[in-house]
Amino acid sequence: MLTVVDRPVLQYVVDEAREAGIEQFIFVTGRNKAVIEDHFDIAFELEDTLEKRGKTGPLAELRAELPAAGSVSFTRQQAPLGLGHAVWCARHLVGDEPFALLLPDVIIKAERGCMAQMMDVYRDNGGTNVIAVEEVPAERTDQYGVVEIEGSGDVFDVTGMVEKPKLGTAPSNLIITGRYILTPRIFGMLEHQEKGAGGEIQITDSMLTLMREEGFKGLRFKGRTYDCGSKIGFLGANLAYGLDRADLGPELRALASELMG
């Protein structure tokens, strides 16, 4: 819920999903996260104040971001047991359908959203699993899930993956970015998944199991990632999105130039 410029990080991620045509949203949260649920509800007091003050622009923007009734669901992950476990917690809400998984602390600035690009790959390849990937320097591969690939270009087969490999052992320098399209069979794998790296249930391990039965495509998407779970990523996102705003960009650019001497 930290704001990038003037909107929560989470809102950027939801907007990316909506652009891709997603209509149903499931949030896996934990304790003390009720503010997330409130954010996607009608703010009666705020709307009333804006209306009385004639703030028609902000009021219209607020209402435009409100999800349709019944399109948002919430479930709890009672203990921090890893991303794989968080996904498994949503199994009954997702049901027997393919789904998109977006990590809410990663925003991707792109002319066309990363998830919309992934949906193209999904449709063009008969509804296969899709993973968004990007390049990082080899010395940083130990911080991420890394894929092994077959083929070249922007779309290719993913033949393997490893979570946070030791330096010098990574199969490539292509990391999983935090955007996935997965078939519902992943829930069966997660049901019996043992703890992996970091003592957590890693979705990477279950995807490896699923990979023996179903294909996976990797997409080298067009866009820039900002990991708002890190301080530098969060600051970078504020700068990038601020500079892109017509009402803020010129002043922010001048201020940045002044501060940098």
- Three-state SS for 39-56 is HCCCCHHHHHHHHHCCCH
For 220, other C-beta atoms within 10 Å of its C-beta total 17
What CATH number has the domain bearing residue 152?
3.90.550.10
184 in the same domain as 79: yes
111 in the same domain as 29: yes
**So what's the pLDDT on residue 80?**
85
Distance CA 132, CA 147 (A): 10
Distance CA 124, CA 136 (A): 27
Whether residue 79 is predicted with pLDDT greater than 80 in this model: the reply is yes
Reduced to 3 states (helix: H, G, I; strand: E, B; else coil), residue 3 is strand
pTM of the complete model beyond 0.85: yes
Handedness of CA 130, 86, 233, 61 (dihedral sign): positive
What would the pLDDT profile of 185-203 be if each residue is shown by its tens digit? 999 999 988 888 778 888 9
191 in the same domain as 261: no
Parent domain of 246? 230-261
Terminal-to-terminal C-alpha distance of the chain:
33
Residue 173 contacts residue 148 (beta carbons within 8 Å)? no
Number of independent structural domains in the chain: 2
Enclosing H/E stretch for 72 = strand 72-76
**So what's the pLDDT on residue 158?**
95
Distance CA 255, CA 10 (A): 27
145 in the same domain as 23: yes
Strand 129-135 relative to strand 216-220, pairing? parallel
240 in the same domain as 219: no
114 in the same domain as 20: yes
Q: Average pLDDT over the chain, rounded to whole? A: 92
Whether residue 100 is predicted with pLDDT greater than 90 in this model: the reply is yes
What would the pLDDT profile of 200-254 be if each residue is shown by its tens digit? 888 989 999 999 999 999 999 999 999 999 999 999 999 999 999 999 999 999 9
Closest-CA residue to 36 (of 4, 3, 1): 1
Q: Tokens at residue 120, please?
A: 């193209």
